[in-house]
Amino acid sequence: MQLEFETVDVFTDRRFGGNPLAVVLNAQGLTAGQMQAIAAEFNLAETTFVLPPQDQSHTAEVRIFTPRAEMPFAGHPNIGTAYVLAKRGSTHGRPIADPLVFEEKAGLVCIDLNRNGAALVGARLKAPQPLTRGEEIAPDIVAAACSIGAGDIETAHHAPCVASCGLPMVFSELKTRSSLAAAQPRSDVFSQHIKGDRATGILLYVRDGSGGIDIQARMFAPLYGVPEDPATGSANVALVGLLASLRPQAELRLDLRIAQGVDMGRPSLLEATAEKAGGRLTGLWIGGRCVPVMRGTVEV
């Protein structure tokens, strides 16, 4: 069987930046094991597989794999897959309509296309699940997992904690940009304390405020075959929700420009939005630009 694929760099406006994604376009007939093997062969943070939708009112069923595991939801795979399908104009014999709706393990993901005039430049998704905040994680565990000191962790706004909009992640604010740059994941500590059934990985962040950037972030998920991710939409859409939930205003729109991947040489820009009404979160979005890179076939 011959499968078509395209790769795209997500959350960037230039090739070889952002987060690369492989999109396998005609994945019907593949087993989960075959999808996992193909994702391991690409060895990118994620690979998506596009299938006909179970409900014909939706755009497609999309399955997402890291090199080691299937994911219920992820940000850059949705943004990149929507961009690739919209550029092609159709999927499985059906035209693409805006907004796109993907069927995923975490639920339905609604994605709007971003255009500059007539040119398609990217996409924006709405989180498929409301923000949930789970357990707190001891600062010394986060510090050990990321090779930094417990004193580098900022707890004035919130303790390190698990939060999710479809994919649980540990969130920890740091005090300085230099401590963020120094962080390195330790798989042995993740294996002992941050296992996959607890959280997918750890997102570290620091407040910035320079050069039009609000947040600098890094994300580590070594147990999923992703030592560091250049851009993590699923984590950052939860982050903007977490930060909005901590603010006292009952009515709020919070827009954040988040830089990620800078320290690994793949600078990414994610644009995140949270809205509150009546003291509760009513919507969370993440979006950015995309650039096509490669296309070809996979022999199965």
Domains of the chain: 2-127+289-299 (3.10.310.10), 132-287 (3.10.310.10)
CA distance 41 to 240: 33
- Rounded mean pLDDT of 41-46? 97
One of 6, 46, 154, 275 is an active-site residue; which one? Answer: 46
Q: What is the pLDDT of residue 82?
A: 98
Which band of pLDDT confidence, cut at 50, 70 and 90, is reported for residue 1?
Answer: confident
Instruction: Return the ∠ at Cα 234 (arms to 270 and 160), rounded to 5°.
Output: 100
Which band of pLDDT confidence, cut at 50, 70 and 90, is reported for residue 188?
Answer: very high
Percent of the chain with pLDDT over 70: 100
State the average pLDDT for the chain: 97
- Rounded mean pLDDT of 233-246? 98
Q: 270 with 235: CB under 8 angstroms?
A: no
Which band of pLDDT confidence, cut at 50, 70 and 90, is reported for residue 196?
Answer: confident
DSSP bridge partners of 86: none
- Rounded mean pLDDT of 245-254? 97
| Three-class DSSP category at 170 | strand
CA distance 258 to 262: 11
pLDDT by residue (tens digit) across 101-110? 999 999 999 9
Instruction: Return the ∠ at Cα 198 (arms to 196 and 199), rounded to 5°.
Output: 70
Which band of pLDDT confidence, cut at 50, 70 and 90, is reported for residue 214?
Answer: very high
Active site residue 228: no
pLDDT by residue (tens digit) across 93-130? 999 999 999 999 999 999 999 999 999 999 999 999 99
Task: Choose among 82, 12, 7: nearest CA to 230.
Answer: 12
Residue 182 has a CB neighbour count (10 Å cut-off) of: 15
- Rounded mean pLDDT of 68-94? 97
- Rounded mean pLDDT of 160-183? 98
Taking the model in full, what pTM does it have?
0.96
